[in-house]
């Protein structure tokens, strides 16, 4: 099992999702002057989407700052993105932006604070994913 890192803004959807998920995780702070976590092992990033109608601004600034550090970026293995289908084509597009920047897969997408179904799929999916990664040298 490896790590989880997440970001949640003031609306708290992702934070509530993480509380439900109940797995150990490090939170990227909202305030730019708060200390940024330094993962010491591979991790999956869970990140909400803030895109405008054209998909701009999808990834929150604190997440960009977190990923701008090569040491942190080196350990990312996948991204789980949240969003709202009501945003149409840009639904959860922060996942695609991060995936293409960091060359990792989008593992899953969910809406707002997620549902029971999302939680079950992510728990099972993460277990399998970390298992598979351990077998890969």
Residues that bind another protein (CB under 8 A): 9-13, 16, 50, 52-59, 61, 64, 67-68, 70, 73, 78, 84-93, 95-101, 103-109, 111-113, 115-117, 121-122, 124-125, 128-129
Q: Closest approach of Cβ 128 to another protein, in Å?
A: 8
**Nearer to another protein among residue 25 and residue 111 (C-beta):** 111
Number of H helices, E strands in the chain: 5, 5
Residues 76 and 45: beta-carbon distance below 8 Å = yes
Q: Closest approach of Cβ 16 to another protein, in Å?
A: 7
Measured distance CA(65)–CA(61) in Å, rounded:
6
- Find, among 85, 37, 30, the residue nearest to 62 by Cα: 30
């Amino acid at each position: 099992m490896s790590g989880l890192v997440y970001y949640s803004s003031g609306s708290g959807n992702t934070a509530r999702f993480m509380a439900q998920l109940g797995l150990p995780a490090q939170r990227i702070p909202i305030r730019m002057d708060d200390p940024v976590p330094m993962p010491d092992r591979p991790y999956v990033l869970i990140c909400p989407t803030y895109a405008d109608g054209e998909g701009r601004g999808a990834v929150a600034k604190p997440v960009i700052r977190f990923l701008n550090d090569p040491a942190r970026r080196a350990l990312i293995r996948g991204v789980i993105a949240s969003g709202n289908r009501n945003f149409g084509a840009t639904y959860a597009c922060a996942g695609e932006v991060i995936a293409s920047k960091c060359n990792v897969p989008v593992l899953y997408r969910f809406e707002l604070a997620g549902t029971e179904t999302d939680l079950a799929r992510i728990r099972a999916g993460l277990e399998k994913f970390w298992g598979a990664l351990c077998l890969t040298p």
